[in-house]
């Protein structure tokens, strides 16, 4: 079967559109439209290489406080809207080159390239306050707990994320709606 030049062009455009769609599906979380954990880990690995050559790198883990109670009290539709809204607030409050990803459930990871711990603390506090100020989220009394970790020599993703996770648990154990590092 021989294709005309116009038919071939149309076919190639459709293939290109479908590839873009597949790439988006493979790299984004369906519910929040944030990057997914697979994409996040891949990009984080690239930033780790830069950190090993002297660039700062920090990680923030954000967790919505008492999310199970929200699900139980208001149902999955409202809980999904809360996830979506928190995602938008986080995206709005970070720089264009920071990466926000949904890691699962009500947990979000934020990669802060070229950012040392002191700056990451300020960003995390700004994120926490932005969630509190949002009208929709305030209606449901949504708060977040945040854990921060900074790249240290010889770190990999697991080590950095484990320290940020421990900091997150300190925030939760000591009253929630706070930032720990």
Cite the active site residues.
106
What residues are paired with 109 via a beta bridge? 61, 101
Q: Cα 138 to the chain's mean position, in Å?
A: 21
140 in Cβ contact with 70 (< 8 Å): yes
Give the chain as a 3 state SS string: CCCCHHHHHHHHHHHHHHHHHHHHHHHECCCCCCECHHHHHHHHHHHHHHHHCCCCEEEEEEEECCHHHHHHHHCHHHHHHHHHHHHHHHHHHCCCCCEEEEEECCEEEEEEECCCHHHHHHHHHHHHHHHHHCHHHHHCCCCEEEEEEECCCCCCHHHHHHHHHHHHHHHHHCCCCCEEC
């Amino acid at each position: 079967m021989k294709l005309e030049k116009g038919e071939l062009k149309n076919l190639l455009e459709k293939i290109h559109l479908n590839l873009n769609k597949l790439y988006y599906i493979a790299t984004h979380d369906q519910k929040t439209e944030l990057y997914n954990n697979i994409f996040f880990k891949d990009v984080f690995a690239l930033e780790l290489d830069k950190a090993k050559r002297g660039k700062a790198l920090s990680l923030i883990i954000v967790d919505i406080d008492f999310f199970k109670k929200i699900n139980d009290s208001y149902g999955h539709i409202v809980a999904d809207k809360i996830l979506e809204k928190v995602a938008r607030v986080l995206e709005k409050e970070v720089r264009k080159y920071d990466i926000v990803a949904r890691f699962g459930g009500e947990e979000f990871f934020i990669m802060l390239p070229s950012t040392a711990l002191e700056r990451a603390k300020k960003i995390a506090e700004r994120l926490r306050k932005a969630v509190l100020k949002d009208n929709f989220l305030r209606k449901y009394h949504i708060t977040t707990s945040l854990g921060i970790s900074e790249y240290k020599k010889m770190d990999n993703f697991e080590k950095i994320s484990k320290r940020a996770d421990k900091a997150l648990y300190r925030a939760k154990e000591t009253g929630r709606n706070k930032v720990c590092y």
